[in-house]
Amino acid sequence: MIRPYETAVVIDGTLADDTIRKEQQQLEDFFKANSEFEKADEWGKRALAYTIRKKKTGHYVIFSYKAEGGVPAAFEKHIKLNENILRHLTVVRDLKNEAAREALAARRAQGELIKAEDEDIDDMDREISDDRYER
Torsion on CA atoms 119, 124, 127, 131, rounded to nearest 10: -150
What distance in Å separates the CA atoms of residue 101 and residue 109, rounded to the nearest whole number?
A: 12
CATH annotation of 3-93: 3.30.70.60
Q: How confident is the model at residue 126 (pLDDT cuts 50, 70, 90)?
A: low
CB 11 within 8 A of CB 86: yes
The domain ranges of the chain are 3-93, 94-135
**What are the beta bridge partners of residue 16?**
none
Q: How confident is the model at residue 132 (pLDDT cuts 50, 70, 90)?
A: very low
First to last CA, the chain: 75
Return the pLDDT at 95.
72
CB 96 within 8 A of CB 71: no
Average of per-residue pLDDT across 48-53: 93
Least confident of 12-21, 92-101, 107-116: 107-116
